[in-house]
Amino acid sequence: MKKLHFSILLLFCIAPIFLSSQPIINEFQTSNVSSYMNTDFYVFSDWLELKNTDADTINIGGYFLTDDRDNLSKWQIPEDTYIGPGEEMIFIADNMDIEANSVYYYLGFSGKPYDSTTVYIDHLNFKLSGNSGEIFLVNPTGSIIDSVYYEDQLADVSYGRSMNIPSQWVYFPNPTPGLQNSTTSFIETTKAEVPTFSIQGGVFTGTQNISLSVSSPTAEIYYTLDGSIPDMSSLVYSPPLEITSTTVLRARVFDPQYLPGDVITNTYFINENSDLTIISVAINPEFLWDDTVGIYVEGVNGIVGKLSSTPKNWNQDWERPINIELFSEDDNLEFNKQAGMKIYGFGSRKGVQKSFSFYMKSKYGDDYLDYQLFKDKPSERYKRFVLRNRGQRGSALLKLNDVIMQEVIADVDNLDNQAYEPVVLFLNGEYWGIYSLREKLDNYYCESNFGVNPKKIDFIEHGLMHASSGDTLNYTNMLDFLEQNDMSLAENFEFIKSQMNIDEYINYQIAEIYSSNVDWPANNIKYWRTKTASGIWRWILYDIDNAFEYASRNSLAYASATNGPPWPNPPYSTFLFRKLLDNMDFRNQFIQQFASHLNITFEPQRIIDIANAINLE
């Protein structure tokens, strides 16, 4: 009898969970390029929204959200999470898996620079695929109570339930996370047409009159001249546009019958003279200069680090959407693409002229840039690349150190290095100086240079071994072997030769030692291997701005010191080189390769000629 009484009591205790109304999946966005930003990280994250359609508050604590039918308990909603009657709640799909309680949005089509709302949210432990996928809402017993399957999604467009027919899923050009779904929606993904420009961007002498046109009688063209993405609060086109100075013209078609059209960007260089490749970047000005979300300013949402003792926005790892055009030395437009852009570098971020890194992603349009960026390398496929300000050194000459050394060793057969092209940058139509176009050194560098799978790479940075891709296990095991075994023995050296590219490592050490780089080896060191049974470690020469300044220093002793300071050559950073020097075969090969490089690669007149040629560019 007592057992029966307990069972009835238990039923009454849990009944409200299962008998009350259930929430629904109401809206989500898998390709948030520039429409909504959360304040936890000030980045554009994908999201999904639940809605309570009932007249009573619902406790959804203990429910699950997932994008995987085979893992219905992927992420559990925290206990005592309530959605009020008729209210919405959003969850950020960014794979961060942390709690949060407010969100700040940049509204792309609001007609205002900013708007904001406060809702209770959490960050999920998964991201939503921009391609086709599924989302499931699962109750505490493991039953699916709502789900949605979706096809490929569009940038800055959300997918959700129609306000008129809640069972029908539609596309929203103006997403509304945390708010009631918009009444403006479309069943199809058809976009408005793109405007036709009478003259394509390029280099011109004198004023240019640009006409824009569309075929639809219900369409209107909106445009901007400041780099921002056009919306319905921008200028309405009226022919023609007179371009009298270097200008970025961005245009977009809005048609009540369709989703907003794609943004088309053209830069017109008026009376600009350059013998170098020209790169033009167009970006919403607030993404650079706004104190809250700008990546180029000191701002009010920064972090300490990168040689800054006070918080700076430019230290954040913030990515912003941009359009990038490249014009060759003979003024031909080579590509015009959308991409993501971040501030790049370490101490050089403090300079007036900052470096940038660029990211090709499907949400911007293309996963890769299919173009041969560097004359000296055959690759025509790049995922990422860099515009470098030539480092943090004080004088213009010192800023060439890295470029000079990279050019000096460019013809060394077995040494990974960064390619280089000098370019001129225009930022929203304003001249921004001469930059070095460089490869970005990460797992995608390995793909473009060696054709290997970038997702199967161990890529390690810094002497303290941070794996930006893969892990450090294989490298740590190699160091353990070196620690525990006598490297003077041939069999032990043979094993190490099966773990690392000895020839390249010697070339790498020689380049660093010869150039007397003082910001090394605890810093500015990157090495990688394919994550396979036969994968061996390789080293990449990079960031040697501090080269050539201490010619009188014994840099060989420095690179093999047993008791160096915490920076830049502590014992752990010289350990590998010291252990290999215990082997006579390695020592003899090191001496012979060094002598050969001194007579050929580092022949003084050769270096002078290379330096002079670069300095003239």
Which tens digits make up the pLDDT trace of 53-99? Answer: 999 999 999 999 999 999 999 999 999 999 999 999 999 999 999 88
Pick the closest to residue 282 from 298, 266, 299 (CA basis).
266
Which tens digits make up the pLDDT trace of 234-255? Answer: 999 998 899 999 999 999 999 9
Task: State mean pLDDT over 273-297.
Answer: 96
* CA atoms of 248 and 265, how far apart (whole Å): 7
Which tens digits make up the pLDDT trace of 437-464? Answer: 999 999 999 999 999 999 999 999 987 8
Q: CA angle, 178 as apex, 174 and 182 as ends, to 5°?
A: 35
* CA atoms of 600 and 142, how far apart (whole Å): 70
Q: Model confidence at 395, in pLDDT bands (50, 70, 90)? A: very low
Q: What is the mean pLDDT of the chain?
A: 90
| DSSP SS3 for 224 | strand
Which tens digits make up the pLDDT trace of 332-354? Answer: 999 999 999 999 998 889 999 99
Who has greater pLDDT, 588 or 22? Answer: 588
Which tens digits make up the pLDDT trace of 524-561? Answer: 999 999 999 999 999 999 988 888 877 778 999 999 99
Which tens digits make up the pLDDT trace of 175-212? Answer: 999 889 999 999 999 999 999 999 999 999 999 999 99
% of residues, the chain, pLDDT over 90:
81
Of 208-217, 405-414, 582-591, the one with minimum mean pLDDT is 405-414
**For position 120, what pLDDT does the model report?**
57
Q: Which two tokens stand for residue 565?
A: 């300071």
| DSSP SS3 for 403 | helix
Contact 401, 545 (CB under 8 A): yes
**Cβ-count burial of 218 within 10 angstroms (0-12 exposed, 13-18 middle, 19+ buried)?**
exposed
The H or E element containing residue 531 is: none
Q: Model confidence at 101, in pLDDT bands (50, 70, 90)? A: low
